[in-house]
Amino acid sequence: MHQTSSRLLRMTDDDRPFTRDFKDLFSTLIVSLLPLSAHRVRLTRIEHTFLSEDAINNLGSLKFSQSNRMPDPKDPSRIVTTTTTTTFSMAKDMARSICQRFLDARFIESADGKLQQVYTMKGAVWQLTPKGVCILDRFCSRNGIQQRQIGDLIALGSSNLCILERNPTTDKLVMDRGTMEVLFRRLIGTKGLNTKSSVSSADSDSLTDYRDGLTGVKMASERKIGGKTYKDTFTGKACSDWLMDCATTVDRRETYELASLFVEYELMESIQQDRGYMATSPSAALFQPTRNSIYGLTARGREIVTGTGTRGRTSESEGLGPPRPGVARDSNTQRLDKILNDAALRLLFRENLRETHCEENLSFYQDVDEFVRGCRAAIKIAQKNPSSTSMDGIKEIMAQAYGIYNAFLAPGSPCELNIDHQLRNNLATRMTKAVGQDVAMIETLHEVTALFEDAQNAVFKLMASDSVPKFLRNPKYEHTLKNYDFDTVVSAMSQSNHRVNRSGDTTHPRRTERISS
């Protein structure tokens, strides 16, 4: 059986690729055709580097395949191989533009150690930043890729990025107040208020300041402005640089939005403005990303950093939502509901899961949520208007289903989940069947959706019983978690257990997915 789907790379309203596709494109380039080898830069041989023209040429035709071999559930003597192949193709001008975006996103940097803002066409030598290595590492872990050059890169050092969530429809960052408070605490750093750096070091242009992702923004312990001495200050440029290097931002404009919210939420305040800075919008006037603009912490900002804020903050990102069907209600499932419905708590919970080597549980849970929404929308469109265009959407959703299955549910998959044996067999039986014609494909998607939701419930129970207690006991998150009154949440949700259950063009690069079974 062969099934192919094709679509243009999704673009946002401000004309950039959707972040997930963008990161997949970058990682596919590194693991497929791009040779990372030693190149001479200023009489020094630098390992794991590449040339400008090699990246541009290889982006013209990229291919990435993910395969799983498994016994046929009906005939164990027969081996079934399911392969999902993703192909990117684009013109040379677009390839050069994409490489520039890799540079802007801080995935790559000049190998000579100097700040380079333009991706030159020929002769320049580039290397991955620790942020780029982290993006690549997460891609390889999800897809079960094991290459020597990838292992060598990761051994050199990867950044501990702050993984910010995005709206799946618009690709805009989730920027509710709770998330901003968590991010601000990371920005200042655990030792930020004890720094003794001088003004000159705090204003440096070093590319190595934030390579580990854990160091807080470069701050001056004391700075004299207008005859007055201010403590613990930093520049607008340093703030923007930190947000670019230590979080999953992909565009400088996103760092300006985040920093503007720090000011709006009264976490930091302007001490000195750059008179030469021209604001492009009213919101841009709140934050100036320049060396001459100086910022300090507000009283509220210090409370957030030191953990002396008030207790009992409630979620501001989403409602609690109805209980999951098929999941018994207890205190930990109610706490997990609270975590999953609050963007700031999800951010911290993901960090804790990563540290305990089970981040795949939350990734799968969220991927299934996104898949189910997309699947129902695609089926509704196809049934209302069964055209070739609507069926392309069905094929794309089917490709997404195989991607989730191969990553999390297939026997021996790279992020294999701990689920019931019978459920795993049911999934294998369904996923190894031929998809067939269009009508059969829609029927298959209904079956796959039901099985995915069963697996999602199993993962929900596992996170509730095992991961939630560990998360709530972790002293690393004590300062933040004490601002959430989980006992009140449990009490409130216990009184509401009778609620109704949830029902459920040539200028852009092209992405093609092919499923073989």
CATH code of 483's domain: 1.10.167.10
Residue 162 identity: C
Whether residues 113 and 238 share a domain: the answer is no
CATH classification of the domain holding 102 = 1.10.10.10
Of the candidate ranges 224-228, 249-253, 388-392, the one whose mean pLDDT is the lowest? 388-392
- Domain of 184? 177-306
Count of the separate structural domains present in the chain: 3
The string of pLDDT tens digits covering residues 444-495 is 889 999 999 999 999 999 999 999 999 999 998 887 888 787 765 545 445 5
Instruction: Name which of 395, 375, 400, 386 is nearest 435 in CA terms.
Output: 395
> pTM (2 decimals)?
0.85
Containing H/E element for 344?
helix 343-355
Confidence of residue 213 (pLDDT cuts 50, 70, 90): confident
pLDDT in the model for residue 483: 76
Q: What distance in Å separates the CA atoms of residue 382 and residue 445, rounded to the nearest whole number?
A: 12
Same domain flag for 47 and 193: no
Same domain for 97 and 187, yes or no, is no
The pLDDT tens digits of the residues spanning 5-44 come to 556 778 999 889 999 999 999 998 998 867 788 898 888 8
- Which residue type is seen at 148? R
Does 516 fall in a domain? Answer: no
Q: Read off the amino acid at residue 271.
A: I
Both 111 and 222 in one domain: the answer is: no
Residue 162: half-sphere exposure toward Cβ, Cα within 13 Å: 29
| Average pLDDT over every residue of 286-303 | 94
The answer on 201 and 56 residing in a single domain is: no
Record the tokens describing residue 219, joined without a space: 């701050």
Q: What is the residue type of 321?
A: G
pLDDT digits (tens, 9 = 90+) for 158-192: 788 999 999 989 999 999 999 999 999 999 986 65
Dump pLDDT digits (tens) for 124-162. Answer: 999 999 999 999 999 988 887 777 777 888 787 778 899
